[in-house]
A and B are shown apart, each in its own frame.
Chain A
Amino acid sequence: MKLNYRIVIFALAIVFGIVFSLPSLLQTQSGKKITLGLDLQGGLHMLLGVKTEEATKSRIKSMAASIKHFAERNDILINGLTFDNKSVTFEVLDSDEIKTFDEFLSKLEGVTVTHKGSVISVSLTPKEIEKTKKQAVSQAIETIRNRLDQFGLSEPIVARQGKDKILVELAGIKSQEDEQRARELISRAAKLELMAVDEDRNARVYNMSDADAASYGDIILEDVKSPKIKYLVHEIPILDGGMLTGANVGFDQNNRPVINFKLNAEGADIFGDFTGKNVGKRLAVVLDGKVYSAPNINERIGGGSGQISGNYTVLEAKDLAIALRSGALLAPIYLMEKRSVGPSLGADSIKASMIALIGGFVLVIVFMMVYYRMAGVIANIALIANLLLLLAVMSLFGATLTLPGMAGIVLTVGMAVDANVIITERIRELIYEGKSMHKAIEEGYSNAMRAILDANITTLIASVVLYVYGTGAIKGFAVTMSIGILASMLTAILGTHGIYQMLESKMGKSKNYRFWFGIKG
């Protein structure tokens, strides 16, 4: 009795299959499990594009703000501070001050400074623009991830795809309201700006065009609650949300939710300076281009904290605070692809594919037993082991099971018996030729080997290509197909051969071909 290594390997494979597929089958708390794809458990999949050119624009804008602040701080008179998509331009009135300014500008990173007499223009270098764009995407990913983490979903996926795309996957969204909330949280720019109201001209705001406003260096903004109310504010903000260090929900004296925010040292400085100089004027609190409130400045506000009041619910205030805390999106995002599946549809899909899987499985099993008798039973053992292995490997990888993946498993059931059909047919042929049972089995296996290998490798090639070029759900299909093929090599070839060898002593004496191979012999 020589050691039957095939049966040992096969037994080990079955044990491995059972042990590692159990967590998935029983949905235990611990252990590595197969996760259900969004199409099976319901959820939201989005591919977002990032408008990176907006990021460079806002870089330029904040550069303009800091130039303005520098000039005011050092009492340097500048004139005609304007900016476009590429550069900030201004004129220094006192030519002695140009040097001071140059010194300040030389500290800025990634800019080119050009002089035309007393007119200075500052623009971003191409390398800096590229960097800013790249940063905008990374920052958007980071920001969206932060926001979703605080939203309280289980394991949101936020990942970069390609150069400037972001993939967001949220599983287990149970209701329309949740989805709406998640979408708003993701897409909210959360750009906070504190802006000075142009008190000299604000009275005329209702008969002013945008172009008129621009000629004064102002812009017209609407009130968040009633768009009919308009404000004329200086285009260059006093400071923006980048200087925010915290935001949380509080309540004002009327017990309405407000958001308290804190500024960093630099922000606190600027804020203190500005409020000190502008007592009696109004300060517009602007969020994403809408004026939330425009309180009067009664005194200098030091310490760098402020409040945004608005007419919102506690939940809205909470989400707003999350958005502010996680920082603004440097660049707006837009939707490129979205797939959302309601939980009920996912449940239906699981049910339907399970029926197909079990139906197909039973059909194949019964067919094999009727047609091949004992050889069919052995092939069925291999088939079940194959499925267990497939589930085990998928669990170990923490793979996602999608609907096409389910289809892949169903297909595996149909194709996995192929190897056994080839082998058994070969054995039958040899028995017809009058070979002994033992000889027929050994030669049958060696004859069938080459065909099975060739056939499986070509199928594997097709599924690897599918995996490399497929997206999302299709990848899942490719994974199950590939693992299924590999597992069938182990179970259908090695495993069944081992079983035959184990039964050899019984089979060698038997002349009952009908029982073993379903033929008359």
Chain B
Amino acid sequence: MEFFKYSRTFDFMSKSKLAMLFSTILVLASYAILATKGLNYGIDFAGGTVVQVKYDTKAPIKAMREKLKANKLFDGASISEFGSPDEVVIRMKTTTGNVTQDIGDVTREVLKGTGAFEVRRVDIVGPKVGSELKEKGIMSLVLAILSILIYVAFRFEWRFAVASIVALVHDVSIAMGAVALFAIDVNLDVLAAILTLLGYSLNDTIIVFDRIREGITKSKKANLTEIINESITRTLARTTLTSLTTFFVVFTLFMFGGEIIHAFAFTLLVGIIVGTYSSIFVASPILIFFGFDVKGYHTKLAEKAKREAEKNRMREQFESGVM
């Protein structure tokens, strides 16, 4: 089967202005959402308590609210359905430092008489731990981006590195915007999804860039736009197919992976779509924008090759004893 038989080059770059506009709007909208609505930090970063309760039948949320009101511990607690009507999550800001007195036990006591239920999960994160995790999380994001930047700059050229980072920031911003828009709890798993997305989105971009680099070195054309168009067209099959297979599996995670993995899968799902789009429409135009000079690069490569040849000649001379 073939969806993408390479017969003619698609002119992607002519659409780049439109794509840029679209991307700018999306990114700005994401920032607007982040600024106004803000991220909904879950207990991993904000500290607090989560108790997950499962009933035999539909959870009597109203009755539960009444019962919880009676106990001071549950001041400001929110109750919401979790994945299915018989399962609920109670979230609150309060934490206890007491090892023996357990919020799970207290919840069991308080909810007595609301039906048959079991407390399935109790997560307590103290405020100190939360702020530590936050620090670590931000640190890991920054570190990942930096080390990737260095690697790409080392392997390609600084413009490629900058372009791939711009694409990365673009993807992460939009993914975070979506997370904020849908009020998804930001916990460690969302952070993991964002970091995975970093790797994934970059993976996509690099494959395209690799082709562009190959095109630059091999083709006689000096027009970067043409080279980019050709390279993207040639990698289009791969980009789409891999995105599809990854999308398949993340989608199955999203559909069947259970509520606990939901936030993770959602973030990745958005990320894969945005990441695929950005590796085609965002990363490459930036190369043009930064004025990547094909001729200059050619000269550089030629010089490099010359130096190599010179070195080899010297070595040969040296080895054969002629000095």
Where the two chains meet, the residues of A that have a C-beta atom closer than 8 Å to any C-beta of B are 39, 46-49, 176, 179-180, 183-184, 186-188, 333-342, 344-345, 348-349, 351-353, 355-356, 359-361, 363-364, 367-368, 370-372, 403-404, 407, 410-411, 413-415, 417-418, 421-422, 425, 428-429, 432, 447, 450-451, 454-463, 465-466, 468-471, 473-474, 477-478, 481, 518-520
Contact = CB atoms under 8 A, between A and B. Distances in A.
Nearest to A360: B249
Interface stretch (B23-31, B205-213, B285-293): B205-213
B151 A425 contact: no
Given A345-B121, A455-B206, A462-B199, A333 B99 contact: yes
A340 B122 contact: yes
Given A356-B256, A410-B253, A458 B152 contact: yes
Interface of B: 1-2, 5-6, 52, 54, 95-100, 102, 104-105, 108, 118-126, 128-129, 133, 136-137, 139-140, 143-144, 147-148, 151-152, 155, 188-189, 191-192, 195-196, 198-200, 202-203, 206-207, 210-211, 214, 234-235, 237-238, 241-242, 244-250, 252-253, 255-258, 260-261, 264-265, 268
* For the complex of A and B, 3 pairs with smallest distance between CB atoms: A360-B249, A352-B258, A187-B99
Given A355-B256, A367-B245, A411-B249, A458 B148 contact: yes
B195 A465 contact: yes
By CB atoms of chain A within 10 A, which of B2, B133, B211, B235 has the most? B2
Given A176-B105, A352-B257, A418-B242, A429 B234 contact: yes
Contact of A356 (B121, B122, B200, B252): B252
Contacts of A46: 99
Given A340-B104, A360-B253, A411-B249, A432 B258 contact: no
Contact of B242 (A180, A334, A417, A518): A417
A410 B122 CA distance: 27
Q: Is the interface of B mostly helix, strand, loop or mixed?
A: helix
B147 A461 contact: yes
B206 to A, nearest CB: 5
Contacts of B234: 429
Contact of A360 (B140, B200, B242, B252): B252
A363 B198 CA distance: 25
Given A455-B203, A462-B144, A450 B98 contact: no
A463 B199 contact: yes
Contact of B99 (A183, A370, A418, A463): A183
A355 B253 CA distance: 8
By CB atoms of chain B within 10 A, which of A349, A370, A474 has the most? A474
Contacts of B118: 342, 344
B238 A422 contact: yes
B249 A364 contact: yes
B195 to A, nearest CB: 5
A367 B249 CA distance: 12
A414 B248 contact: yes
Nearest to A188: B100
A469 B136 contact: yes
B204 to A, nearest CB: 8
A367 B144 contact: no
A431 to B, nearest CB: 11
B250 A344 contact: no
Nearest to B197: A462
A469 B199 CA distance: 16
Nearest to A354: B256
Contacts of A403: 260-261
28 contacts: A47-B129, A49-B97, A187-B100, A336-B129, A339-B124, A340-B122, A345-B52, A349-B261, A353-B253, A355-B256, A360-B248, A363-B252, A364-B249, A371-B1, A404-B192, A407-B253, A411-B250, A415-B245, A425-B235, A428-B2, A458-B148, A458-B152, A460-B199, A461-B199, A465-B140, A465-B144, A465-B195, A471-B136
A451 B195 contact: no
A421 B241 contact: yes
By CB atoms of chain A within 10 A, which of B104, B133, B199, B260 has the most? B199
Contact of B256 (A352, A451, A470, A478): A352
A352 B148 CA distance: 33
Given A176-B108, A454-B206, A461-B144, A339 B123 contact: yes
Contact of A473 (B99, B124, B188, B257): B188
A335 B47 CA distance: 12
A398 B29 CA distance: 46
Contacts of B260: 39, 349, 403
